[in-house]
Structure 1
């Protein structure tokens, strides 16, 4: 599925207008449609006015109640997937203040029980040393001092035994030199140390391991309700169950190729030594 950031906002309006138009063409009031779909009339109203973005399950129920033809079901389903996707540009985060982004992440992490992180290119802030975090923010055209503090504060999540945190890192991500070589050795040692925490499972994929697909993007899955994908210029948020399931499938495929526990720590210690 390809789309531009502009499409994401437009798709929500298009979806609301399309569903309202289809209901009227079927000669149904909002109340009658609501009864057929086992939804409240207020929910139908919010969907048709764009105040609420329906899930794919909601839309399938509505289209079934309207006896929509299969071709139309497929078309509206695709529109629903796009409407359940958000684009957050990096420049918007800079304008709002990068620390606000950290507050949003802290909220997502507090609400989730199981979080899965796929890191193909560099180390995430949750696992990073202060020096590594500061280096990773040097490109930002704003004061990042508060953001560094917030990132370090978020690391308390690692010690929350009510959470299940799984990190998969490629060898390239571990070795990407954001800081001088001695500091990189300290950073990699930290990964080995964090892997011993009871709430954390940390795996690494060494170079040379054969995988079925390329590690294109950093992504995070929060339970089975939300997935985020990081790019150089922003972040995409997926809420559609099928998109989340696809990311879970991809994560599982990389997890099967990863090395964990003592074998992973042996690799990390060797990589850290190579930087000393």
Structure 2
């Protein structure tokens, strides 16, 4: 059941109950305007919203459980990469930039690649070339990602990154460029409002680094899978990602320990370049 179907179903249930929208909204602890937006699919309802609306309407517990689960499912939206490519990958960079302008706290976990906000131009190009874009689209997307990096210097925001150690060793570009990429991570880590941590291979782990994800404030999680970008907004699901992030945060190296680990890997890349 998508958002439109859910809204229509709630509107039909209310109409069948004979209760006016204002009365249902008041009992559901929301404004009539919010209820109208939910019923007309202009606002995605949370599972809590749905439960309150259905309680106000007076349906059975079984119906409430069914519709609350439908609301939870509709709060997860996936957009296939092939669709993003069709409309222009650079537009995805613009959308991300708009989200980052509005947020106060960003928490990003990355077990596969250097996070986009920390990437050098050479690293960005190497990553994006996998998508078989035209040179024009590639240039626009690279520029879009570089423009997004301006958020790193907004000290009104709290930016927290967790990267696993294999990311630092994964050879996306030539050794000298990898060394430059690691230098950039160290440089950004010295900003007072930026916290970068590395989960070292030597640490005993109690969780699995399944995939990358980004948490913006406490309201939205973006997950990148092989075929699509998934957006999660249900509070219960968001809390799962926050718990996972904080678990890896406790296992990760920070500050000078983190920079010492990066410097060691960087120096190996430089020695390899010299002897290559």
TM-score (norm 2): 0.91
Q: Give the one of 267, 272, 276 matched to 1:273.
A: 267
Of the three residues 11, 17, 23, the one matched with 1:20 is: 11
Distance 1:175 1:72 in 2: 52
- The CA deviation string for residues 115-156 of structure 1, in whole angstroms up to 9 with x for no partner, is 000001111221011100000001122231011111111111
Counterpart in the other structure of 1:4? none
Q: d(CA) in 2 for partners of 1:59 and 1:106?
A: 31
Deviates more, 1:136-145 or 1:104-113: 136-145
The answer to whether the 8 A contact 1:227-1:238 is kept is: yes
Q: 1:187 aligns with which of 181, 184, 197?
A: 181
Mean Cα displacement is larger for which, 138-147 or 113-122? 138-147
- C-alpha distance after superposition, 1:66-106 (max 9, x if no partner): 23333332221111111112112111111111111111111
Task: Give me the TM-score of the superposition, normalised by structure 1.
Answer: 0.91
Deviation at 1:179, TM superposition (A): 0.4
Q: CA deviation at 1:236?
A: 0.5
Partner of 2:122: 131
Does the 8 A contact of 1:94 with 1:141 survive in 2?
Answer: no
Q: What is the Cα deviation at residue 214 of structure 1? A: 1.0
Q: Give 1:111 shift.
A: 0.4
Deviation at 1:29, TM superposition (A): 2.6
Count of aligned pairs between the two proteins: 267
Q: Please give the root-mean-square deviation of Cα atoms over the aligned residues, in Å.
A: 1.5
1:1-276 equivalences in 2 (<5 Å)? 10-142=1-133, 143-276=137-270
Distance in structure 2 (CA, Å) of the matches to 1:212 and 1:25: 51
Report what 1:3 is aligned to.
Answer: none
Mind listing any 5+ residue stretches in structure 1 that lack a counterpart? 1-9
Gaps of 5+ in 2: 271-276
